[in-house]
Amino acid sequence: MTRYIAVYFDTAQVQALRDDAQETVLAADEDLEITKQLNDLTARRLAREAIDKKRDLYVEIVDKLQEASERLNVGEGDYIDE
């Protein structure tokens, strides 16, 4: 069973998190390129699988944060008065 939890961020926090997640995706892309230099096929496969898994997670995070950023910029986000 998948469970969800709401987390509230302001616009600046969303943008900072999105930027950091995008940097992580770019770093994973670079790491994937570096794995091509590994001579051990098993090590190469394991490294690529681990990096791909992490990269996919961060791509999903970037997508969700981008959507949240767009919603906040047009006023569609839920308003919470602190």
pLDDT in tens, 53-82: 999 999 999 999 999 888 887 765 555 555
Whether the pTM exceeds 0.75: the reply is yes
Q: Quick one: residue 23, left, alpha or beta (phi over 0 = left, psi -120 to 50 = alpha)?
A: alpha
Other Cβ atoms less than 10 A from the Cβ of 14: the count is: 22
pLDDT in tens, 13-23: 999 999 999 99
Q: Using alpha carbons only, give the angle 25, 29, 32 rounded to the nearest 5 degrees.
A: 135
